[in-house]
Amino acid sequence: MTDALTIAVLQHESSPGNLSANLQRLTDTAAQAASQNVQLLVTPETSLCGYNLSLEANRRVAQPAQGDLSNAVSALCKQNNLAIAYGFVEQDGSTYYNTVQIIDKTGKILQRYRKSHLWGAMDKQLFTAGDAVMPPVNIDGWQVGMLICYDVEFPENARTHALAGAELIIVPTALAGDWHTVADRVVPVRAYENQLFIAYANFCGVENDCHYAGRSCICGPDSEDLARAQTETTLLVATLNKSDIESIRKEIPYHQDRLPSLYQAITSKRSLPDHY
């Protein structure tokens, strides 16, 4: 078991629709991260193509899960000896997904996750919702789960990962400035109530007419920030330790004291029953 994991979260301005510019940014960032002994680099939602796109532009930049784009990222992983989680618009036949894919340091695709909770009219016009919370994957001895943006605002998603053994949840996001409370308050609470680490990677600056909140962060299982960006392009780096998870789970035994038999209404019905 590896007790420590060094991760980096990239917060950057989007280059909407420009795959080559975004790939060059990732190339430069991967080298910077490698120089700091980073083992996992996390980038924002749809980081390699931009998020706030028209339907036409969205379709134009869409890529298969395995193709030229994944091959380019795979080469970066091998060259820099680190894993990369990157966001892109995935085309699968005639269906389009908002997807994050993790490639490990050997260049192998570990897993892809399709955003399940679509935010607002734009998301629902551009994408089909994913239909599964994928199990955590192993990165250098750490169990790592994936969510995307709005997904983390539903506590059931993070809890599902925690119960599956996740020690870190990565959350690529495209959070607008009006919703900074998600980055500042919701994300730390998700880390605390599930007693694990969360890496939240957002855009900054302006993309078309969307002003992003920035505020990317790496939160510990005690809800405290290990690293926090403001509103400028930033590479956050932090080293996580499993002992922090073990300590808080001994101090506050949420996982041990859960009573799942009382919570069935949460997943079995869309509304609460007449009595609790």
- Tell the residue number behind the tokens 């119960």, with chain if given: 163
The pLDDT confidence band at residue 272, using thresholds 50, 70 and 90, is very low
Domain covering 4-268 assigned CATH 1.10.8.590 in the classification: no
Instruction: Output the pLDDT for position 264.
Output: 83
Between these two residues, 79 and 263, which has the higher pLDDT value?
79
pLDDT digits (tens, 9 = 90+) for 123-143: 999 999 999 999 999 999 999
Q: Spell out the domain ranges in the chain.
A: 4-268
The one catalytic residue among 45, 90, 167, 207 = 45
Instruction: Output the pLDDT for position 276.
Output: 39
3-state secondary structure of 106: coil
Whether 149 is a known active-site residue: answer yes
Are 102 and 137 in contact, with CB atoms under 8 Å apart? yes
Distances in whole angstroms, Cα of residue 176 to Cα of each of 213, 214, 231: 5, 8, 11
pLDDT digits (tens, 9 = 90+) for 63-113: 999 999 999 999 999 999 999 999 999 999 999 999 999 999 999 999 999
The one catalytic residue among 77, 90, 105, 149 = 149
Mean pLDDT of 192-221: 97
pTM of the model: 0.95
The one catalytic residue among 49, 115, 210, 217 = 115
Are 81 and 105 in contact, with CB atoms under 8 Å apart? yes
Mean pLDDT of 162-182: 96
Q: Is 149 exposed, middle or buried (0-12, 13-18, 19+ CB in 10 A)?
A: buried
Q: What is the mean pLDDT of the chain?
A: 95
Instruction: Output the pLDDT for position 2.
Output: 73
Percent of the chain whose pLDDT exceeds 90: 92
Whether 78 is a known active-site residue: answer no
Pairing of strands 225-228, 217-219: antiparallel
- Tell the residue number behind the tokens 């199990």, with chain if given: 135
Whether 13 is a known active-site residue: answer no
